Structure formats: C-alpha cells, structure tokens
Chain A
Amino acid sequence: MADVSLRNVVKQYDDVVAVASINLEIPNHEFVVLVGPSGCGKSTTLRMIAGLEEITGGEISIDGAVVNDLPPKDRDIAMVFQNYALYPHMTVAENMSFGLKLRKFPKAEIKARVDNAARILDITELLERRPKQLSGGQRQRVAMGRAIVRNPKVFLFDEPLSNLDAKLRVQMRTEIKRVHQKVQTTTVYVTHDQVEAMTLADRVVVMNAGKIEQIGTPNDLYHHPATRFVAGFIGSPAMNFIPATLESNGDALRVRLTDTLAFNVPDSRAARYKPYAGKQVSFGLRPEHITETRGHHNGVGQEFNATLDVVEPMGMETMVYFRINGTEVCGRVEPTAAGEAGAQMPLRANLDHMHLIDPATGLVL
C-alpha cells in the first residue's frame, strides 16, 4: 500500500497530445476514480501509472520512489482489465497464482493467498474451473482475485465493469467497494460512467481532452462543479443549461431567460454575481431543482408555467421536458403531480442551487 503521485505528466503520440501535463496526488488507501468521455486520456493515464505506456514528460512516483523507467513488474501494482485478460488455458487457481509463481513464492504461501482471495470474492468453488466455463461476473471476480493475491501497493482498474450487463454491473460495483473497504489498497479506477465514479470514489478526477477539469469528492463535484463540462458530465439526467442575461434590478440581480421569464438571484449569491451584471451567461440548474409547485417549501422557489413536450414516468418520479427559448429543459416531479404532454404545468425552480457559467471560458462563476 502506498501513495501515488503524478507531477506534470505528459503523453504525446507523434503530434497528438493524449495527456497534457496533469498533476495528481493520491494518498495511501484512497480510492480515486478517473472519469471522462472516451478519448479524454483517462486510460492512458492509468496505463502510464502501470508502466504499459512510456511517459513523454513529467514524473510518476509510487510510495515515494520515481517509477518513470521501471518496467510494470517492478512497480508492485496489479491491474484489472476491461476484458478480464484471464489466461484461457489455466484454471482459476492457476490464473490467480501465476504472478506469485513467477515471483517464486513458496507453494504453501501461494495456496494460502489464493484461498484467502477466493474467500473474499466468494469464488472458492470455482478454483478448478477454466475461464471459458465462467460467467462474465465470475470472470471479473477472478480478475480481481488475481490482483488481490499479489497484495500490491496499488490496484489499477481499467473500465472493469463495461462488459457486464446493467444488473451485474451494479452488483459488482458494490463488490468492488466492499473489497476495497476490506483490503484498503490504494486504488486508481478508470470509467466513463459517472454513476460508477460517484458511487465508488473517495475522490473523483474528471478529465476532458487530456486535461484534469476538476478533482474532488463526489458531493463536491455534484454541488460545486468548477466548469461547465463537469456540471454537465456529473449527474443524470444532465444539468440544464439555458442562455440568459444577468440583469441588475436595483440592489438585486435577475437572470432573464426570455422576455417574459426571469428569476431573481437569491441574496446569498448576489455579491458573487454582481461583477457580471449586464453580461450574457449560461444559467445552469439540475432537473431535481425544477419541481412541482406543492411541497418543497425550503429554499427560494420561483414559480413559472411551462408547456410540457415529453413526459417520462420513471416510477418513483417523473421527468418532464419543456422548452425555454428553444432550449430543452428537464424537470423532475412527483408522479402524481405530473401533467400530460402538451398541457401547461406550473413548475417551481429552486434557485438556491443555481449556477452561472461564463460562456466564453466555460468556468462556473
């Protein structure tokens, strides 16, 4: 177990910059998730930590020692791959013990470690089977077992759940979290699924176009996104962004969305937004902060009417879609309160959770 640190790490393929000078400190025991759309450099970053990709510039250190030029086997890491990468001709037990055998561990020790890992992952009865005879979820467990037996300083996961069906993915997500709580090994986990990132991570690193957009706890990212990209990427359905103008109204501020619709900025935000008065901004509000009018009396709510385009019942809640000035907006309402598509519905926006984004820089103001 160890801390991992990346300092000004760069990866360049010919003219293409895959990772542009990133800095990341991962303390011991922490579970860090790298998340972002495909091609954002998250997998490359992970593979550089593993030693499967050479780094073009900067410094990676594990447990205080710089590992830039160390081959993967000397970095004391274990990796779980998206397609499991189990050795097809070996049994589960042989798959798990392969690394230990190469490192010339005594037989008794190998057996003890394999049995222990099998118990943690509940795969004891599969030890003599071959990968072909296992289901996707079982293979994933074996791949994790192969990582656990090595007792490495760092676990690396490269989209380990992408090949599983939705139900199994949720199950294995919990499983991975449980295993981490048990073995406490520093973990770097790569995924493109923001739900996975939110549920698993101690800290989430959101990447985009080879750069780190923001690092923070899941709640941090959700409630205090630093950029429009993070605001839009984290959360499902995604945050609504509506072009607007910030107007001064005496001492108070108003966000004008259309000629007839404007929201008053809560007093708590007024000082922060004051310098931007009169400017074009992007108004951001999450669907759960656009609700039906009854109930929800905490916070500054402002009511307005909307003509519903689409109504999507989800059971415990209903998504309503409508347009403000041509932009599609999603709200999240009580199933009993939802109107029908085409009908008018009074809605309520909770402005305590609003965000304003500078359209030029993409930064949250």
Chain B
Amino acid sequence: MTSITAAAPAGKRTTVGASLRRNRRWALYTSYFFLILFAIFFLMPPYYMIITAFKTDSEMAQLATNPWLITGGATLDQFRILLRDTDFLIFFKNTVIVTVCVVIITMVVSILAAFALGRMRFWGSSILATGIFLTYLVPDTLLFIPLFQIVKSIGLLNSYWAMVLVYPTLTVPFCTWIMIGYFQSIPKELDEAALIDGASHMQMLLKIFIPVALPGIIAAMIFAFTVSWAAFVYPMAFLYSADQQVLTVGTVTSLIRADVYKWGMLMAGALLAAAPPLVIYAFLMDYYIAGLTSGATKG
C-alpha cells in the first residue's frame, strides 16, 4: 500500500517534467524557425547592397547572370569612382557636421528640459511634458511646409545649417520624453541627499543625474544620431545645390540621372553611409537596450 501511494506521485511528476521539457523544446524550435526567417528577410536587402557594390558595371548589365552572386570578379571600381568623381565626400562631410551639431544641441536642450520637467515639480510641468510629446506626433511630411517659410524667412534656404535648426524639432521632443522617464525613475531621496550634502541644482544634474542616467542619455543620443543621419524629407525640401547637400538626398539625386541608375555606385554609397550608424550601434547596443527597457519599466 505504502509503495503504491509513494510511486504514484513520483510517476506523475516524471510525466509532468517530460511534457514541460517537450513544451520547451517546441517553443525553442518555433522561435528559432521564425528568428531565422526574419533574419533572412531583413538581411536580404543589406546583402544585396553589399554584393552589388562590389560588382562591375558590365556584370550588372548582363541580365543572364545570377544577381545574388558575384560571377565576373569583385572590384572596388564603384567605390573609387564614387569617392573621386562625385560629390559623395562633400555630402558625407555635411552630414557629419549636421549630425554632430544636432546631437549636441538635442542633448543639451533635452537633458535640461527633462530635468526641469521630471524633477523640479512646478505648476503646469506635467501638461508641458505631455505637450512636448504631442509635438513629436506631428509628422515631418506635414511640418516641412510651415518650416519652409521659417527657414526661408531667416535666409537659411539651401544651407545645411538649416538642418541643424530643423532636425531638433524631431529629436528634442522624443529625447526629452525618454529622459523624463529616466530621471523620474531615479529615487527622489537621491536629490534630497544631494541637496543636504550642499549641491546646487546644476551640480545635482551634472554630478548625480547625468552619471546615474547615462544609459538613458546614450539611448537618447543614438536616437538623435539616427534621426539626423537618416533624415530625408527636410534636406529634400530645403537643400538643392550639391555643396550643401547631405548623404541621404545627395546620393540619390547625383547618382540617378533621369532614367539612368548608377546601381553600383548607389550601393557603394549606401554601404559607406550605413557604416557609421552600424559602428555606433555595435559599440553602444547594450547601453541602448538597457536605456530603453529601464526607462520603460521604471518610468
């Protein structure tokens, strides 16, 4: 009798354990299947870009060849011509200047704004915070029409400095929003301790808040960088001469002449343009994820 009652629950436990293991195995198989499927789906365009950038023009012209492989020998000609004979380097330089300025302006404005809105509770601060986020919801395809008037009236039309002025309208609201959430997740005893220790509000921000919220700040920084590096609508609307143009619009306008597409150089240009964000993401990815998630759960 005792042996039967003792054996029964043990047997039950093994079946439960086995089905749990089987369950887990199936979950793993399905997730691997879909992960691989999506990886292929998303990596196809970059792969196509890379492979095309190293092909010769003549190979591309032959429709009989396999477009997914290099059959006529790899070449760096596309890069050589792109860098030597086109304005690509000017576009690149302009983009770097614009992006660096925008990131700096965005960070200064949004850190100060977020600190004020998230920490120094004052009359109307929460309405203001919501208002800032609402401005982010207005799409740039709509905003560029009134902005055109503004940019024109201050004489910055066809100057990349106009980009330094208008990109923050996209980056500041979102970055401020991320930073507000992040700053609010810092326990309020920390600023009280700093106050008692004798810190002014500026010292509190510089010595306590910025170091503690660094993952959030880096996440916001990457966002500002990505937005200003990849913006298309504003330069398309406000810039038209080659010496002022940025990468996104410049590559397309100078390498597509009527119905002639310089595919090789287009892909080489895209590859070079994608490199800086790729490098930055690779180095700061952990910070970016930590910043986004902790802002989400704690804020």
A residues engaging B (CB < 8 A)? 50-52, 71-73, 77-79, 81-83, 85-89, 98-99, 102-103, 146, 150
Q: Tell me, in angstroms, the Cα distance from A89 to B189 when the chains sit together.
A: 15
Residue numbers in B under 8 Å from A71 (CB-CB)? 195
Known contacts A81-B189, A81-B192: A102-B208 contact under CB 8 Å: no
Any chain A CB within 8 A of the CB of B17? no
Partner of B195, one of A72, A82, A88, A89: A72
* Cβ of B201 to closest chain A Cβ, rounded Å: 11
Query: Do B198 and A99 touch across chains, with their CB atoms under 8 A apart?
Result: yes
Residue numbers in A under 8 Å from B192 (CB-CB)? 50, 52, 72, 79, 81, 85
B residues engaging A (CB < 8 A)? 187, 189-190, 192-199, 203, 207-208, 211-212, 214
Interface residues of B, dominant DSSP: helix
- Please give me the 6 A-B residue pairs with the lowest Cβ-Cβ distance, nearest first: A99-B197, A85-B189, A73-B198, A85-B193, A89-B211, A102-B198
Known contacts A71-B195, A73-B195: A83-B187 contact under CB 8 Å: yes
- Chain B residue with Cβ nearest A81: B189
Residue numbers in B under 8 Å from A86 (CB-CB)? 193
How many A-B residue pairs have C-beta atoms within 8 angstroms? Tell me. Answer: 56
Query: Do B198 and A103 touch across chains, with their CB atoms under 8 A apart?
Result: yes
Q: Tell me, in angstroms, the Cα distance from A161 to B195 when the chains sit together.
A: 22
Residue numbers in B under 8 Å from A81 (CB-CB)? 189, 192-193
Query: Do B196 and A78 touch across chains, with their CB atoms under 8 A apart?
Result: yes
Known contacts A81-B189, A83-B187, A88-B212: A102-B203 contact under CB 8 Å: yes
Q: Tell me, in angstroms, the Cα distance from A78 to B193 when the chains sit together.
A: 9
Partner of A102, one of B187, B190, B197, B212: B197
Residue in B187, B196, B211 whose Cβ sees the most chain A Cβ within 10 Å: B196
- Chain B residue with Cβ nearest A90: B211
Q: Tell me, in angstroms, the Cα distance from A220 to B212 when the chains sit together.
A: 47
Q: Tell me, in angstroms, the Cα distance from A85 to B203 when the chains sit together.
A: 17
Beyond A73-B199, A102-B198, 6 additional pairs, beta carbon < 8 A? A52-B195, A73-B197, A83-B189, A87-B212, A89-B211, A99-B197
* Cβ of B214 to closest chain A Cβ, rounded Å: 8
Known contacts A81-B189, A83-B189: A72-B196 contact under CB 8 Å: yes
Query: Do A85 and B187 touch across chains, with their CB atoms under 8 A apart?
Result: yes
Query: Do A102 and B196 touch across chains, with their CB atoms under 8 A apart?
Result: no
Q: Tell me, in angstroms, the Cα distance from A52 to B188 when the chains sit together.
A: 11
* Cβ of A36 to closest chain B Cβ, rounded Å: 21
Can you give 29 contacting A-B residue pairs, CB < 8 Å?
A: A52-B196, A72-B195, A72-B196, A73-B195, A77-B196, A78-B196, A79-B192, A79-B193, A79-B196, A81-B189, A81-B192, A82-B189, A83-B189, A85-B187, A85-B189, A85-B192, A86-B193, A87-B193, A87-B194, A87-B212, A89-B212, A89-B214, A98-B199, A98-B207, A99-B198, A102-B197, A102-B198, A146-B193, A150-B197
